[in-house]
Amino acid sequence: MKQMFIIFIFIFSSCKEETCESARNRENKYHFNIISTKNFRDDMIIDTYTKLEGINPETDNKDFFSDGSKWITPYRDSIEKADTLYKKKGDDFFLIKKKNNLIKIYILKCNQNGEVDKTSPKIEVIDR
C-alpha cells in the first residue's frame, strides 16, 4: 500500500502545467515551409490538431508539419490550396502567403505575470 502511494505521488507530481513562457519557447523552435495542397475549410472532419501537408518549395518533396499544440488550428479556415505556410525557427510569427497578400500571425506573447497576453496573437495583413 505504501509503495502504491509513493508511485501515485510520483506520477502526479511529474504532471506540470505548461506555462506561457514554456509554450512560447516550444513554438519558437518550430520550422516549416509548405505549399498547401488542399483547402482546409473544405475538410468534413475537423481534427483537434492541424496537420499541414503539401510540397516544400525548397526541395519539391512532399512535406508535413503536425500542429501538436493547436496553435495553427484557429487559422485553418484561412489556409487554401497553393498558399505557402512559413515559420522560421526562432521567429515569433508564422506566415500564410496568399496570392494577393501575406498574413503574419504572431505567436504567444506573455505578460509580466507569466500569463498569455490577452491581445495575443496579433494578426497583420500585408498587401503584396
Instruction: Check residue 10 and give its pLDDT.
Output: 43
Give just the sign of the alpha carbon dihedral 34, 48, 72, 80: positive
Contact between residue 81 and residue 39 where contact means Cβ atoms under 8 Å apart:
yes
Does residue 5 have a pLDDT over 60? no
- Distance in angstroms (rounded) separating the CA atoms of residues 23 and 74: 16
Residue identified by cell 506573455 is 110
Cα torsion through 22, 110, 46, 49, rounded to 10: -10
pLDDT, tens digit, 9 for 90 and up, residues 22-68: 877 888 888 999 999 988 777 666 666 778 889 999 999 999 888 66
Instruction: Check residue 12 and give its pLDDT.
Output: 46
- Distance in angstroms (rounded) separating the CA atoms of residues 35 and 62: 9
